[in-house]
Structure 1
């Protein structure tokens, strides 16, 4: 059996207590590095030892073998466990054993129709979800499904108590590099700022920054395309740094061989696209390189914390070439979670079902690759990635993040307003008028 840490045992106890008190669908918030698989395996072990059926749902097939190994290590009676991908289970509902408990991995996906269908079909079962980020991509809370959040520790606490390594975060210099326009109120145009970061642009020389900040350390690189990932792996090799690329289509034997070489230290930089993401088990590393802007808080947290598993006297390095920190903040920021959805956030916007042929102006289906009237082929125009190799990344800590990435509305006192004005080269009079308008003076 696995030995649980004190806080892990508390999370198990809190979850059991919630179920005893009548909650039917708790969501357990387990930060990356908290040992989510250990916690959920203990809940499953206790359930199977009571001869009750468990349905464990994942969203990627690579995760099934990983969780099976953890369950076996924790003395789970596998006769009472069904493991499956959500895409498979939803198609085989009538052939799936009726569970007493449904456990959902990465449960921030739970509002998807496939999960809802499974939960509704097995409506007598209790449901326990696990996630590090209990919020949907569009900002929606999970309250349509979950009825209570189970929280115990934060990422900051895990670092302070040496369960995760401290880190240094490097990102583009926002205010100096991007030359944003200032509104009459003195605020930066945040729409312009967001556009700067979400464009297909990389700030800084990737290899030069790796050598400068993490030379010789093992790193995982997150690319925005297979082409970019393969090109970066080749570029690292050209300068004598061992590197390989993997993605979801890499044959499993080849992928396993590459990951084992990374585990053995033969590969320094492992480049990938959409593979080493949510829940994917990879060897420890000390450095993360981000070349892909993401709109998902969950993926950002997962990726940025890949290198933060605790190692004595070791500091992790996060090299963010695309400004993800601007959208999501630092990985260990204190975040207040809620099950309440933002207004309209859980509504799904349908993509326009039609488009116009540029040759004959006929209206055709969005999914058509060729116009049925004139035969014109619809080409997909790929926007080139712009690279500004002259840009220098700077270290972002809690203090610089507060000064460089916040808006004037974030300032809570005259001192903070004066600090903000000084950082952004505003006159003290600007801070005075801002403070007077808000009642600070």
Structure 2
């Protein structure tokens, strides 16, 4: 019987965990990614795989993590095996399983034979494209690599295809909720009184400039606390916009409750484990943090998540990570209450897994950093008592997160949705067509008249076509790339397009004042497709 570090028996693998384990055991490639929503037990899956690797194959294995908590976490399921740790002053001694901090191991590689490790597990694998990870993975060049992540997208937009070759398993938040493995989400969007108008998205993080966010959100602590008092239920984690907001929100909650029910948690917080234990025991009701609990934290009793830091629509992966902190089931917990103070719940809670990222950016010469004088920033208005409003909330509404659903990454390709279902992309020399989804959501890809042998997930098709376009049809990018053809698309419909539409469908009504060239192009392709489909059915 397998037990954890407390001596309690470990429950058997669930059906989907068994399926993921089997995919790993039968994988013959070099590097694969497994995507599982927060709370689906990825640690349980890969520790069971490591047990199989050591006992059945006599392999030496390495677990890579980027935080201390994550280094120790998998060892709780491996009590029956000899394990070593590479972390700060702790050193491994060539044990069959080594759990290592990336930051510690990268400076100790010379003590290892490059052929010593047979299998590498990368926890929170969306970090794997970082230079420190790449150096370790390249050093152990004969090792098979498996990455696990709930968010297969990097904030900086860099793709994971530089590390992983395949996605061999994918179970997202929506699937987990529908199958009762995670708590359902009840989301309330609360709009506070702040203005993000001048805040820009940084190219290196794909998120808002955090210094600007801190300035814009300064003073919203009262609104966040008002939202907490009105709508929060049970143990609560608040994700604040800055360290100052962490301090102010914590102070206001404790002041209004006349007791220390809230605790501020930052990177500099001493005895963080003690605070988390107090929270688990119910001695602390609220944890207020800034960029601490976005991943690798297991606090299943959490019933309410308050998102009080703006998240750019280009970084929805962070949104999924934050909400994931409250999705684990817990006795007496009916659902996860999400209080969205920043409008992020208008976007899909998850996007389909893809290994493809943005084009690598050319390195720019570094400019010397200059300190800004305090008076160069916009001054924060300090309100006198008579100007303090009765409420800091502009408006609030419930959001059906499940209805918003999942987003797919089309990589800015100008796919034309077909009225009969599926997508079409005609360019000189080739036409790509994606079929209407089958009952399981998979689709067929047609390139001209040749069809793929088996159906695949839609996101995989989008990825493959995008790679094919970049490699073989770069000279036609002005046609297949949305952003490059945007100017042409937005111009008024041409006479030639009107004539062709009338020829294809004489009864089709066209509003020439409102129809653009892009609209007309989509209409023509749909009419042509319908005609071709009719011809092939007749034959």
Q: TM-score range by the shorter chain?
A: 0.7 to 0.9
Aligned to 2:161, what secondary structure does the other structure show?
Answer: coil
Aligned residue in 2 for 1:336: 352
Aligned counterpart, 1:149: 167
The residue correspondences of 1:83-232 to structure 2 (distance < 5 A) are: 83-96=99-112, 98-172=116-190, 199=213, 200-201=216-217, 205-215=223-233, 217-232=234-249
Change (3 A) 1:398 1:218: closer
* Pairing 1:394–2:397 present: yes
Structure 2 residues not aligned, in runs of 5+: 3-9, 84-94, 202-206, 382-388, 406-413, 420-509, 528-539
Larger radius of gyration: 2
- Aligned to 2:393, what secondary structure does the other structure show? coil
**TM value normalised by structure 1:** 0.74
Q: Rate the CA distance shift 1:267–1:410 in 2: closer, same or farther, 3 A.
A: farther
For the residues of structure 2 that align with 1:400 and 1:383, how far apart are their CA atoms?
Answer: 39
Query: How much has 1:7 moved relative to structure 2?
Result: 0.3
Whether the 8 Å contact between 2:40 and 2:176 is mirrored in structure 1 is: yes
For the Cα contact (< 8 Å) 1:203–1:392, is it kept in 2? no
How far has the Cα of 1:204 moved from its partner?
Answer: 8.4
Aligned to 2:45: 39
Match of 1:61 in 2: 68
Distance 2:342 2:378 in 1: 16
Contact 1:27–1:150 (8 Å) recurs in 2: yes
1:347 matched residue in structure 2:
361
Q: Which moved more, 1:147-156 or 1:231-240?
A: 147-156
Asked if structure 2 preserves the Cα contact closer than 8 Å seen for 1:44 and 1:76, the reply is: no
Match of 2:174, SS state, is helix
Taking only aligned residues, the RMSD between alpha carbons, in angstroms, comes to 3.8
TM-score using structure 2 length: 0.62
Q: 1:29 offset after TM fit, Å?
A: 0.9
Q: Which runs of 5+ in 1 are unaligned?
A: 181-189, 355-364, 370-376, 403-408, 415-428
Name the SS of the counterpart of 1:392 in structure 2.
strand
| Correspondence for 2:25 among 1, 16, 26 | 16
- Residues 321 and 393, structure 1, Cα contact 8 Å, conserved in 2: no
- Structure 2: distance between partners of 1:29 and 1:203: 35
Match status 1:70 vs 2:77: yes
Query: Is the Cα contact below 8 Å between 1:170 and 1:396 reproduced in 2?
Result: yes
Which residue in the other structure is 1:28 paired with?
34
Cα distance in 1, alignment partners of residues 159 and 298 from structure 2 = 27
1:305-336 Cα offsets, whole Å, 9 max, x none, are 2111124660211112122334xx242x5x33
Choose the corresponding residue for 1:322, options 334, 337, 342: 342
Contact 2:316 2:348 in 1 (8 A): no
Question: With CA pairs under 8 Å and 6+ residues apart, which has the higher RCO, 1 or 2?
Answer: 1
1:339 CA drift (Å): 2.0
Cα distance in 1 for residues equivalent to 2:30 and 2:196: 51
Greater alpha carbon shift after TM alignment, 295-304 vs 117-126 = 295-304
Q: Deviation string for 1:26-78 (max 9, x for gaps)?
A: 11111111111101111111112233211111111232222222332xx3442
CA change 1:88–1:266 in 2 (3 A) is same
Q: Distance in 1 between matches of 2:269 and 2:61?
A: 32
1:234 aligns with 2:251: yes
Name the CA shift for 1:92/1:178 in 2 (closer, same or farther; >3 Å).
closer
| TM-aligned CA deviation for residue 25 of structure 1 | 0.4
- Aligned pairs, how many? 375
Secondary structure of 1:129 counterpart: strand
